């Protein structure tokens, strides 16, 4: 679906530009959730922004299946992006926020907006100003904005941050549902266990370099993650579920 080939990026507009991504390659496949994990400052957000066309590449290339990724208008119709901190300038209604997701397609469709709100279980907030909602409810409305245009590629930067356990689970179920419907999803995450439970593919970054990637059960091992996160992990199994617990 989306292929990042040996991409590199530099810090913007500083006297001594430093590399923040170096020779990273990965693919976001249709029907799969790819988690981007790594310690703070690893380059996860930069990778996500680069994939969304927001960061100029110093090397490498990006290819989006079936379209010219370099054309902003075409790209807008193929990918939907949720930044790490989604702030709104005005207290728009939830319906209007979701309707903004249709801007690249040049049409209005209240039925599509209502369906997307319904899918994210926030239809009853349709007319409510978004600033009157809780953090978890707001996140679901923002995801409804991503889903409304049925874009084949969704990129989300830490959509579960500041959500409680139930809201984070609900968010991941929502994304799982979208992936099962055929979307390719890239998501930056800090919760390794949530990533392991819901994602099909994992990319681990450290200092802008891809240190490991593959299926979660192959990558999420204490021996692979300990040198990257600089913390010791205990691997636990409860029933069918596998967990990594940082040792205190």
Among 16, 40, 87, 223, binds other proteins (CB under 8 A): 87
Q: Give every CB contact of residue 42 below 8 A, 6+ residues apart in sequence.
A: 205, 206, 207, 208
Among 19, 32, 93, 224, binds other proteins (CB under 8 A): 93
Q: Which residue bears the tokens 């409860």?
A: 238
Among 69, 81, 220, 233, binds other proteins (CB under 8 A): 81
Binding piece for other proteins, criterion CB under 8 A, among 30-38, 110-118, 125-133, 170-178? 125-133
**CA–CA separation, 159 and 142 (whole Å):** 9
Whole-Å CA distances, 1 to 106, 174, 199, 212: 24, 20, 16, 20
**CA–CA separation, 245 and 88 (whole Å):** 36
Instruction: Please report whether residue 83 would count as binding other proteins according to CB under 8 A.
Output: yes
Instruction: Please report whether residue 89 would count as binding other proteins according to CB under 8 A.
Output: yes
Among 11, 103, 231, 235, binds other proteins (CB under 8 A): 103
Binding piece for other proteins, criterion CB under 8 A, among 25-33, 81-89, 194-202, 228-236? 81-89
Using left for φ > 0, alpha for ψ between -120 and 50, and beta otherwise, residue 6 falls in left
Pair type for strands 201-206 and 209-214:
antiparallel
Instruction: List contacts with other proteins (CB under 8 A).
Output: 49, 52-54, 72-73, 75-77, 79-83, 86-93, 96-97, 100-101, 103-104, 129-131, 138, 145
């Amino acid at each position: 679906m989306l292929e990042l080939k040996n991409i590199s990026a530099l810090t913007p507009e500083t006297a001594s530009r430093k590399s923040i991504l170096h020779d990273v390659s990965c693919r976001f496949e249709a029907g799969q959730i790819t988690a981007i994990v790594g310690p703070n400052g690893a380059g996860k957000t930069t990778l996500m922004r680069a994939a969304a066309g927001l960061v100029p590449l110093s090397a490498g290339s990006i290819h989006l299946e079936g379209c010219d990724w370099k054309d902003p208008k075409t790209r807008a119709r193929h990918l939907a992006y949720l930044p790490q901190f989604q702030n709104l300038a005005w207290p728009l209604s939830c319906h209007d926020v979701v309707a903004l997701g249709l801007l690249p397609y040049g049409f209005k469709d209240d039925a599509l907006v209502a369906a997307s709100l319904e899918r994210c279980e926030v239809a009853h907030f349709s007319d409510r100003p978004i600033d009157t909602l809780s953090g978890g409810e707001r996140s679901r409305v923002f995801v409804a904005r991503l889903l409304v245009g049925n874009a084949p590629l969704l990129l989300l930067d830490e959509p579960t941050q500041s959500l409680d356990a139930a809201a984070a689970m609900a968010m991941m179920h929502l994304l799982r549902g979208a992936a099962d419907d055929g979307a390719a999803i890239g998501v930056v995450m800090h919760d390794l266990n949530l990533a392991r439970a819901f994602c099909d593919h994992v990319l681990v970054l450290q200092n802008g370099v891809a240190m490991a990637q593959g299926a979660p059960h192959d990558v999420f091992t204490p021996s692979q993650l300990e040198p990257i996160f600089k913390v010791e992990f205990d691997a636990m199994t409860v029933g069918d579920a596998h967990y990594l617990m940082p040792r205190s």
